[in-house]
Amino acid sequence: MEALKKNPGWKGRRGPVVLVIMDGVGYGKYTEGDAVADSKMNHLEGILSKSPHTRLKAHGKAVGLPSDADMGNSEVGHNAMGCGRVFSQGAALVSASIESGALFQGQVWKEIVANPGRGASAGSSENAAVQGGPALHFIGLFSDGNVHSHLDHLKAMIVRAKKDGVKKVRVHILFDGRDVGETSALEYVDPFEDFLKEQNTDGFDARIASGGGRMWITMDRYGADWTMVERGWKTHVLGEARQFSTAREAVETYRKEIPGVIDQDLKEFVIAENGSPIGTINDGDSVVYFNFRGDRSLEITAAFEEDRFDKFDRKRRPKVVYAGMMEYDGDLHVPRRYLVNPPAIDRTAGEYLAATGVRTLAISETQKYGHVTYFFNGNRTGKFNEELEVYEEIKSDVVPFEQRPWMKCAEITDRVLEALASEKFDFIRINYPNGDMVGHTGVYQAVVCAMEAMDLQLGRLAAAVDRAGGIMVITADHGNSDDMYEHGKNGEVLRKEDGSPRAKTSHSLNPVPCIIYDPEYKGEYKNAPLDASLNEGLGISSIAATCIALLGYMPPEDYDKAVLKLKYSLTI
């Protein structure tokens, strides 16, 4: 990797460039339900009033998703910001692979449906494609949110499995309620049951076997709460959970027993007949984890694949052919088998900065730590340079986010203020998770609290940047807290039977801010006044070139255009 070239007309400031990612904070489209606009964010407004600023696209094709109807998400958002260019992302790659048939022609799919004896005991010829033999299991997020998974991918694989001779399929469903409506589970369960009935001919037997809410079982990330994964293991693999005759019965029962519960928090269940679970995972079975996004896929994958595993007692570990939808960690090559190749992301901003000798701090709390490291670095685990880079994780509280909406933004800021005072870093990147993690709860008051708590920290941070003589770039990876109510086609708020607004827990399609706070500005920017000096109509992939330029270097020529124009720049 070559070092970046210096900009002959701009050497940067005496202090560092600080990139602040306000996760899940956009510009709302509607007056009602915009918790960002409803919050008293005096510090952010003060910064905005004296800084160049614009709006950036953070969804759809601007971040590599199939269409502009697709919400942005934290994974692809941090990929785009850290990589400086737009790569086709998981959803698009999987859809294309299924459409072309490449997924089903690959060696891994062939092993899943036809390779005899891979996971079974020695000498066994059982496999998922044998009549009366082991089952093919699918585990994953059960929605069409297209952030972690898509039901169309699952359906296509079930159809193809039948065609390829599989006789028994069991589906383990993780209810969403974050990337889709918060209580929309049955809108997916009922049509899917109809789909399975249509497929269940000629000896083919496909059924829902177990499930639960995505924030209760299976889909933990960054080691925040391994008990989620343990509950998922007991449910999907061992069949140890409350028994029901159908998924609908499970949903309806839990909703009656737990007033106000939303899909992501639904308790675990198994489908049983005559007191026995119909879909435990056993020796000789095949398992596909059909989420394409990596962060909430690594821990359940570890439970299936790792020989030395100490996070919980698995009780038994079935010998299976296990595959992920994609490779979830390109450095560690996890999982061992995967169906679709991930985007080949190279030459990230972090790699360029390390090659140039730029001293970097990346910091967030557990919930977003991997985003300012792994995803920002193009789905790469580890550092580019151990001497130049420091990655710090502030441990998240393991409680529902609406109960601690301030999360760890103060602790993150405490550490960044120490870093600024130390003069040890040239580039600092921060993620404040509040707008996203609390936004997903759908609790409006908590989101307002989260925004105002974060704003207090922005005020502290701005004052420290002033003292250090640095520059602060404030942006976001996607919207969320800016769109907290469900709206109809005409923009009207949709309401529950009691007249209260229907909460929206998914991301928004709204643009996000890009604010360049430069307290030591001396007229270096082109085309005063300041707010007239920005390139418009860009996406968040422009953040990489922007930060590189503000550090005093020339962005790579193929990087997306920087937001800010500087004098004497050769490429922006």
* Catalytic residue annotation: 74
Residue 524: half-sphere exposure toward Cβ, Cα within 13 Å: 19
- What is the distance between the alpha carbons of residues 355 and 358, in angstroms, rounded to a whole number? 8
Could you tell me how many residues make up the chain?
A: 572
Read off the tokens for 482: 């800016």
Whether a cis peptide bond, with omega within 30° of 0, leads into 335 is yes
- What is the distance between the alpha carbons of residues 237 and 240, in angstroms, rounded to a whole number? 8
Residues with Cβ within 8 Å of residue 170, at least 6 apart in sequence: 135, 136, 137, 138, 206, 207, 208, 209, 278, 279
Coarse DSSP helix, strand, coil percentages of the chain, rounded to the nearest 5 percent: 35, 20, 50
Are 558 and 544 a contacting pair, CB within 8 Å? no
DSSP one-letter code for 520: T
DSSP one-letter code for 539: B
Q: Is residue 307 helix, strand or coil?
A: coil
Are 283 and 272 a contacting pair, CB within 8 Å? no
Pairing state between β 512-517 and 243-244? unpaired
Determine which helix (DSSP H) or strand (DSSP E) holds 393, and give its type and residue range. strand 389-394
Residue type, 506: S
Other beta carbons within 10 angstroms of residue 258's beta carbon come to 12
DSSP one-letter code for 423: T
Residues with Cβ within 8 Å of residue 122, at least 6 apart in sequence: none
- What is the distance between the alpha carbons of residues 479 and 486, in angstroms, rounded to a whole number? 14
Distances in whole angstroms, Cα of residue 189 to Cα of each of 174, 250, 372, 493, 512:
11, 11, 35, 26, 34
Q: Is residue 379 helix, strand or coil?
A: coil
Residues with Cβ within 8 Å of residue 253, at least 6 apart in sequence: 244
Nearest Cα to Cα of residue 224 among 4, 469, 406, 393? 393
Neighbour-count burial of 131, counting CB atoms closer than 10 A to its CB (0-12 exposed, 13-18 middle, 19+ buried): exposed
Residue type, 446: A
Are 140 and 307 a contacting pair, CB within 8 Å? no
